[in-house]
Chains A and B, each alone.
Chain A
Amino acid sequence: MNLEYSLFPGCVSSAREFSCEISARKVFEVLNVELYDVEDFTCCMPACLVHSFDYATGLALTSRNLCVADEFDRDILTLCVSCYGNLWRAKKLMSENGDLRRRVDELLASIGRSYQGKVGIKHSITALYEDIGPKNLKNQVSKPLRGIKAAPFYGCHLIRPREYLFFDDAEFPEKLDELINVTGATSVLHRERTGCCIGCGSFFGEVAEEAALRLSVDILESALEAKADCVVVTCPYCFLQIEMGQLLFKRRTGESYNVPVLNYTDLLGLALGIEPRELGMNIHKIDPSPLLEKIK
């Protein structure tokens, strides 16, 4: 297997939530997948923030990243579901030949670029599922995580909207559950599995921050109702929000949830026999030791 991708790490994992990038780099290395760093990528320029100011300028900035990716003959691999959904949204809008496309083409021409949209857009989860495959992954598991109950948290832009994201069903996705079960852990069904962490919305002031805190608590309650040992996320923003939610909740009420949050690649990495420290699990803010004890 000679898979290779252009890594699109995204702002949250580059600047804030390092464990996601550490874990993904390690796991793909062990799986013999080459991730290339690309010098000229920028922020994905998320629609919810950047396109809010000026639609065409935002779309040009996002599409610029796709032009950069086209310089190399390999698919993009994002770590963040917002980058994934946002890049796909740009690809979809750029495939419609209207006024908007013409305006964006003009903007891109001003920097000497022209949009082709040749390379594919993957997220670490879609690459693991579609390009490597659950069966292949299962064959490489050396340390099955028996006894661990994991609550999957899919992340909005891995599955919605179906209009241009085709990975899984938007209402009842199953592929992250399947990937969890491949590790020997058991995925549990819970009501917030396709919920939202408000990562994308939390930029806009205190009301949004309050909403994010309340939702984190709701996600944790949902996981605990299903007797999960941990929440498994696909995105550094979800990771950050659900960990931070627990810290803020503790500060406010004195009570702690202490529900470990794991990147999916942490779970897979452990099952592949990688040490927790090599996956960056030592920098998690919610101590995963009780979980790690369980699988020793």
Chain B
Amino acid sequence: MQISGLWQPKFRIAPKHKVVTAGSCFAQHFSRALAARGYKWFDAEPAPLFLSDEDAAAYNYGTFSFRTGNIYTARMLRQWLSYAFGEAKLPTEVWEQDGRFYDPLRPAIEPGGFDSAEELVNSRAATLAAIRKAVTQTDIFVFTMGLTECWRNRDTGLEYAMCPGTLAGEFDAEQHDFVNQGFGEILKDMRVCLRILQAQNADIRVLLTVSPVPLTATASGQHVLLATSHSKSILRAVAGELAGSCQFADYFPSYEIITHPVFGGMFFAPNKRSVVPQGVNFVMDNFFADQDATFPSRRKRRRRAEAPVPRRGKLAQSAPERSHAALKCEEETLNAFAG
């Protein structure tokens, strides 16, 4: 099916621009698609050399521009930005389970948790530094809004990445509140986020998207179908409001491309929840096509495989250096053994 002109981008996103991605799981597709087409997806917290691709994925390297894991809500994004730029005190809450330590802001970031609370804090500090680097150095900040439902600590107001007791921690009905954020609250949180982003980087451009992935479950008491509709409607409305009122923010309609009835649900997997690769490709094809249409001078880039991660630093030898090195090896050996 062909469709065009869904999006009239406000600003150009060129291969030379650094692009940060964050948000719900659908944002990962943006990261991969940008890298695959030769764009500068900004990995501000890269995996260490020699870590296998499998381990990097398991430890959440290279998924988003920093190791926050999924940022499902506007409040979570606000929390991360506020902590990174010193606008809020870091939470002291740590979840301990079976001698392992879990970060309530990102409990799934390390499979099996951290060795100690100190390690957890140090690791989080690295991620906050990566957020600072990403925000201050990037050209484009892509944020995919995912959920309105969340769990918060009644006393501290801390919003958790997931309900305590799901992966770690212990649910306490006296302390943990379910919150289904409304339009006004999310809009306010997002405005704070935009303010922080622009205060740190006057040239930053923000591209908002809404995840098309429906809810699997809801704590709202509603049927999940209604809860999904409620949640996505609010997020879509907030994104539209911000794109309409903020010069440096835009909205890209990946949500509509995947979910609109005109496509008859063809981009959903048989579980009717996951988005199939063809859907992601279709979304990204539209993204680049609409950029080309609005900014025709944009140099076309052929899709290419993601650049391989260098396995060694620059101190490793090039081919001519290796050849030269082989001669040196021989000289050393002859000097020692052929006496």
A and B: interacting chains? no
Binding site for A on B (CB under 8 A): none
Binding site for B on A (CB under 8 A): none
